[in-house]
Amino acid sequence: MGSTSAENHGTDGTAAVGRRDLIKRSAALGLISVPAMSFLSACASGGGGDDGEKAKAGEKTAKNPLGVNESAPMEFVLFDGGFGKEYAEDAVKIYEKNFPGAKVKFSATQKIQSTLQPRFNQGTPPDLIDNSGAEQMDMGTLVGKNQLADLTPLLDAPSYDDPAKKVRDTLRPGIVEMGQFDGEKVWILYYAYTVYGVWYSRKALTALDEEYPETWDQMLAVCAKAKKKGIAGWTYPGKYPYYIPFSLYPMIAKVGGAEVLDAIDNLEPNAWKHPAVKACFDAYYELYRKGYILRGTPGLDHIQSQTAWAQGKALFLPNGSWVENESANVIPDDFEVTVSAPSGLDSSDKLPFGTIWASGGEPFVVPAKANNGAGGMEQLRIMLSEASSRNFTSKVKSLTAYNGGTDGITLTPGLKAGVAALEKAGQNVVNPRLQDWYVQLQKEKIGVAGLGEMMAGRLTPAEAIKKIQNFADEAAKDDSIKHYKHQ
């Protein structure tokens, strides 16, 4: 999968959005080899070096609530991926207009780690970084070594458009929490926003004379109907089964409550043995047992499974909102790409239908030793305005962390469906943290050795749960792993 990086895709800011998001996520999940050890050992020095000349604070005013020094230079390094550079360059122009005496140095690179790691260690990092891509720096290490600035001043500042609202009050659900590791401090601002769920063609469901199934009995009935027409119910990337949780985890939350996912994230003893987990594993196993999964799925990668889905060989696909752009070359024009929250079990579920997983991508950070950290935060405040958010969404076909910014834009079918799914979810948006906190556990153990084996029929649900609980217990006892907990 390493050869399918964002570097190999277009730089027009649209064609490669899905790949860009996937690469970032793949790196986070350890699917792309990153020379992490060199970074970890380098960070162990704690940053070292000269602090450099920190810019003196400017006067705080209504137009300059963060007290940016109006003549201090500001440096911004962006990851040069599928989202392109234009949205960031446009936001930089606003900064330069607001602070005409400030010189902004803007650059974009795919080599985030190798370019910036030495500068962190010398104590001379840029003021704002989009820490993304296959060379993403390890977030846990940056936080653990006190190398990032707390973004609370930005979040508590007046929003760019409405001084009566704080920046934090303009953000989508889960964005603030995603930037936290321990306690209340926020170290990361995720700028893009991904909706996970069950993706399907509305046209294909209409042809079956069906609506999206809200309960599992209805799901099985739709799959049975499809099977009679020679169409599989589901497919997924069997080589990378960490996609399965994109719909399975929010289903677990729907059935048992969000606290079940929190317990799993916290590596609590017996968290995986909760009745809601067992019920959902049993439900997914039914798809295998009844022959509703596309033949050969365990051997497919993400592109192959998405292509089979786009060709109408399977109805449903667990995935993220990058899939529309990633598969744009194989999705028919009349496909009507749609996403739904996962089906539940029945009326006894704790949360309503519509409960969905949505969370941030594209992590922006301000280094603790930045010379002009206030400038870096101000640049982010500009990017979180309605105009900048709308600019991003119209150019790269992705939502931002700003809760709005879609008015007046012609949304693609998938993006429109994602917005509708978020509206339906309301406050019932979950954000499992395993994939951020415990990369190897989530990807290799739970994903490949647990869920992948169960969905291929090589483990029963009971066996998969036992195995996964053992993996979680091992991680909980491993002192070499930094442990995080929901507050």
Q: For residue range 445-457, list pLDDT tens digits in order.
A: 999 999 999 999 9
pLDDT in tens, 413-459: 999 999 999 999 999 999 998 877 887 898 889 999 999 999 999 99
Q: Residues of the chain with pLDDT > 90: what percent?
A: 70
Mean pLDDT across the chain: 87
Range(s) of the chain covered by CATH 3.40.190.10: 2-194+359-414, 197-357+433-477
Mean pLDDT is highest, among 262-266, 403-407, 479-483, for: 262-266
**pLDDT exceeds 60 at position 14:** no
Q: For 18, phi and psi rounded to 5 degrees?
A: -60, -45
Candidate from 54-58, 246-250, 276-280, 293-297 with smallest mean pLDDT: 54-58
Q: What is the pLDDT of residues 88-133, one digit of tens each?
A: 999 999 999 999 999 999 999 989 999 999 999 999 999 999 998 7
> Would you state the pLDDT for residue 440?
81
Left (φ > 0), alpha (ψ -120 to 50) or beta: where does 269 sit?
A: beta
62 class by beta-carbon count within 10 Å (0-12 exposed, 13-18 middle, 19+ buried): exposed
User: CB neighbours of 308 closer than 8 A, spacing ≥ 6?
Assistant: 235, 294, 300, 314
Reduced to 3 states (helix: H, G, I; strand: E, B; else coil), residue 367 is strand
Whole-prediction pTM: 0.76
Distance of CA 23 to the CA centre of its chain: 11
**How far is residue 111 CA from its own chain's centroid?**
20
What angle, 0 to 180 degrees and rounded to 10, lies between the N-to-C axes of helices 275-289 and 258-265? 100
Quick count: other Cβ atoms within 10 Å of Cβ 286? 15
CATH of 2-194+359-414, one of 3.40.50.720, 3.40.190.10, 3.30.450.20, 3.40.50.300: 3.40.190.10
Distance of alpha carbon 117 from alpha carbon 367, whole angstroms: 12
197-357+433-477 has which CATH code?
A: 3.40.190.10
Query: DSSP label at 9?
Result: S
pLDDT recorded at residue 53 = 65
212-215, Cβ contacts within 8 angstroms, sequence gap of 24 or more: 212/338, 212/340, 212/343, 213/343, 214/343, 214/344, 214/353, 215/343, 215/344, 215/345, 215/346, 215/347
Ramachandran sector of residue 103 (left: φ over 0; alpha: ψ -120 to 50; beta: rest): beta
Q: What is the pLDDT of residues 64-93, one digit of tens each?
A: 999 999 999 999 999 987 688 999 999 999
